[in-house]
Structure 1
């Protein structure tokens, strides 16, 4: 019997755990990685990057009807239930079920937020990234999913020091942003973080079961500096967006980020989220008086 994941959003369609029989029926390729765990339940080896990729592909096909999802070697493989959770909390910021328009900052090679957002809610997305190879992979996925391809527009950010500049046009209006910022502040810190995670999983220190390229895992100053830049730049684009949001992995990053939000005259909300043992939070800020949306 599958256990309900109480820590996920109550509306999250993934909160009932992994139905491996259903997933294997939808995507037979997953069968090669599924076997009983020590408790006798069907599972996969989450230390195996190929198994994790196969599970994600099956989840997207089974529950979101996303065809031919794949990643180039070494790119970040996102946990689907947790990524969906973020979008459910985004939805809670608005008081209607109308189609929203979002900007995914750093969509990566997976394009996971636009794919989930269009599938779950019928939203439209702009998806930006500094890595053209990542955008090319998302474009390849979209060619295999014509029913949603017209809802997602890919935009290349040519300047890594900018976030909204070069992406949002002067009079362009969106409802929200999503962002999973680079967590670590240096390559060394990223390696150490991977080693800690692998020790917890009791796997080889050189194994990367979830992957992640440099721009996905780290940037100078880490998430605190990246989101601080988002906050500063959002002031210039305050008329373009109702809710600016970002995931924050480190609780210690919050105090200075909140001060930055207050210093630019915006209101904010913090939503705690967790999946398994991993805890994070969503920081959302807005300059709008009526922060429930523009419609």
Structure 2
């Protein structure tokens, strides 16, 4: 098993070079695209226009504005308390895995409907598929264990012509399975993406929210408010991030020919050593760790494949 480490600068806001959100938010332009955002925009203590990022309604409306302004997605909404992810960070993931595919396709990012991507835990927000479709015209399958999330994601797709017939949402009926029950026989994906629940319990998730509020200067809040929302299955699971990705690795070995590159976000760097051992035991042929820096937060993508290099070209014949 080969392991390589690729790094990104840890400077604040050092997003991927193709990320549409490298510049500071232009709230005048965003309000023009989404007038309802105006109610949440105010001048902060630094004299800049901004929103209160501790306010869930403000964060959701900002996401609506970003999706309208940058991606042409005009109909997007999520139910109360469902995860409302920061779009710049999600876009970074998509751009970095596009580079991953490029690295095994003669330096060319494959685009178009023949590129299939599986999103594990698509959520009600459907963000990864939206960005992947608009940026690269990929075809997505989004999987989730939450019926309401799947219903909402389907409604987003159906109400936006640019997404129709490019995103399929499937309900995972077994909450203990990752790929089984979702990946169909003879189905092949170029990529799988995942933002796993990384907390081990609701208590741990609440503690993380308190730290976030403190960083936002809202430490006086006695009751944690999840500004980015999140249901139980989106934020925590038994064993947290490590056990979830462990299950993913074990299942991926059983479906080694169904996906060229399996990937997952890993929020805790101390978990990497254990993942490397699990991947070696699973006989992954190559493992990559792609570092990402978004503001003060450092995260990384863990990627692995069971496909020999000699067979990479076979995955892209339809795209060349």
Q: Comparing both chains, which one has the higher relative contact order based on Cα–Cα distances under 8 Å and sequence gaps of 6 or more?
A: 2
Fold shared, TM-score > 0.5 on shorter chain: yes
TM-score (norm 2): 0.88
Aligned residues: 292
Q: 1:1-295 counterparts in 2 under 5 A?
A: 6-95=13-102, 96=108, 97-99=110-112, 100-203=115-218, 204-206=221-223, 207-266=225-284, 267-290=286-309, 294-295=315-316
**Hey, what's the Cα distance between the residues in 1 that align with 2:273 and 2:181?**
29
* Aligned-partner SS, 1:146: coil
Deviates more, 1:256-265 or 1:199-208: 199-208
* Aligned-partner SS, 2:91: helix
Q: Deviations over 1:83-105 (max 9, x none)?
A: 00000000001223333210000
**Hey, what's the Cα distance between the residues in 2 that align with 1:166 and 1:236?**
13
Deviates more, 1:220-229 or 1:94-103: 94-103
Contact persistence 1:94–1:292 (CA under 8 A): no
* Aligned-partner SS, 2:163: helix
* Aligned-partner SS, 2:196: coil
Cα distance, 1:68 vs. partner?
1.7
**Hey, what's the Cα distance between the residues in 1 that align with 2:88 and 2:194?**
16
Contact persistence 1:5–1:17 (CA under 8 A): no
**Hey, what's the Cα distance between the residues in 1 that align with 2:283 and 2:183?**
21
TM-score (norm 1): 0.96
Cα distance, 1:71 vs. partner?
1.1
Cα distance, 1:6 vs. partner?
5.0
Q: Deviations over 1:91-150 (max 9, x none)?
A: 001223333210000011101100111011111000000001001111111121022120
Contact persistence 2:197–2:237 (CA under 8 A): yes
CA RMSD of aligned residues (A): 1.4
Contact persistence 2:12–2:296 (CA under 8 A): no
* Aligned-partner SS, 2:304: strand
Deviates more, 1:193-202 or 1:255-264: 193-202
* Aligned-partner SS, 1:148: coil
Deviates more, 1:277-286 or 1:196-205: 196-205
Cα distance, 1:13 vs. partner?
1.2
> Which residue matches 2:3?
none
Structure 2 unaligned runs (5+)? 1-10, 103-107
